[in-house]
């Protein structure tokens, strides 16, 4: 299988339960909920997306001919001399459009712990070590269990109670980023205070100005 990757880089995980952990981020190009083109934003199921996942022109991006080639590129991007805590985050776009058992096996052979951030609308292959589902209002979730459920808040038509019976270890609300970030943060804090099943999730990498 050929993999289309926007970028591969080494940084600090800025969100969720693994916040602060050094990781290689592999951002796959393409998504099934939005084309990534501004002209299509309002028609997309994820119109608030703040990520560029179009093309292969990012740092370390490209077309990778097979799982071995991509796993080697991820290994070579690991920036620490400590090889015992290798951690890779597969993200996008929507990484579930491309990841497969061959890539998971190749990354495990290189001693990576594998995390994914997915919109949950596509079933995942087995073997992923940490599953974060970023739920989008109005979509049909096929991934209904995992380690983290993240909901960007607020979303039009999104009733959070529908998620609370799902089998996740952590439930996070993340303020929607954009022109109304301050108001969205206040609303998110208020909701968490009234509904303590949910925890506030911040994009600390933006606060720290790191990738």
Residue-by-residue DSSP string for 83-139: -TT-EEEEESS-GGGT--HHHHHHHHHTT-EEEEEE-SSSPPPTT-SEEEEEE-TTS
Beta carbons of 25 and 9 less than 8 angstroms apart: yes
> Where residue 45 falls among pLDDT bands split at 50, 70, 90?
confident
> Where residue 47 falls among pLDDT bands split at 50, 70, 90?
confident
Question: pTM (2 decimals)?
Answer: 0.93
State the pairing for strand pair 3-12/62-64: antiparallel
What's the rounded mean pLDDT across residues 79-92?
A: 95
| Residue 196: both structure tokens together | 């303590």
Beta carbons of 135 and 116 less than 8 angstroms apart: no
Give the least confident one: 42-51, 77-86, 93-102.
42-51
Q: Which residue has the tokens 């712990």?
A: 113
Burial class from Cβ neighbours inside 10 Å (0-12, 13-18, 19+) for residue 83 reads exposed
Question: Which residue numbers are catalytic?
Answer: 25, 31, 46, 49-51, 117, 205
| Residue 8: both structure tokens together | 């591969």
SS3 155: coil
User: Going from the N-terminus, what domains does the chain have, and what CATH number goes with each?
Assistant: 3-208 (3.20.20.70)
User: What is the model's pLDDT at position 180?
Assistant: 82
State yes or no: pLDDT of 197 exceeds 90: yes
Residue count of the chain: 211
What's the rounded mean pLDDT across residues 3-10?
A: 98
User: What is the model's pLDDT at position 203?
Assistant: 82
- DSSP code for 39: G
What's the rounded mean pLDDT across residues 71-84?
A: 95
State yes or no: pLDDT of 68 exceeds 90: yes
> Where residue 24 falls among pLDDT bands split at 50, 70, 90?
very high
State yes or no: pLDDT of 92 exceeds 70: yes
User: What is the model's pLDDT at position 157?
Assistant: 63
How does pLDDT run across 139-184, given as a tens digit for each residue? 999 999 999 999 999 886 668 989 999 999 999 999 988 778 899 9
């Amino acid at each position: 299988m050929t993999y289309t990757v926007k970028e591969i880089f080494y940084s600090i995980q800025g969100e969720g339960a693994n916040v602060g952990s050094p990781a290689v981020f592999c951002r796959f190009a393409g998504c099934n909920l939005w084309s990534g083109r501004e002209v299509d934003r309002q028609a997309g199921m994820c119109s608030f997306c703040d990520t560029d996942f179009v093309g292969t022109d990012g740092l370390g991006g490209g077309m990778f001919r097979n799982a071995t080639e991509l796993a080697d590129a991820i290994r070579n991007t690991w920036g620490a001399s400590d090889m015992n805590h290798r951690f890779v985050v597969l993200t996008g776009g929507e990484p579930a459009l491309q990841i497969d058992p061959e890539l998971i096996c190749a990354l495990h052979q290189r001693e990576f712990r594998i995390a994914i951030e997915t919109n949950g609308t596509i079933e995942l292959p087995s073997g992923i070590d940490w599953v974060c589902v970023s739920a989008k209002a109005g979509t049909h979730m096929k991934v209904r269990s995992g380690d983290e459920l993240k909901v960007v808040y607020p979303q039009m038509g999104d009733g959070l109670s529908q998620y609370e019976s799902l089998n996740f270890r952590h439930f996070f609300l993340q303020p929607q980023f954009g022109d109304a970030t301050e108001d969205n943060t206040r609303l998110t804090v208020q909701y968490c205070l009234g509904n303590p099943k949910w925890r506030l999730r911040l994009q600390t990498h933006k606060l720290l100005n790191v990738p």
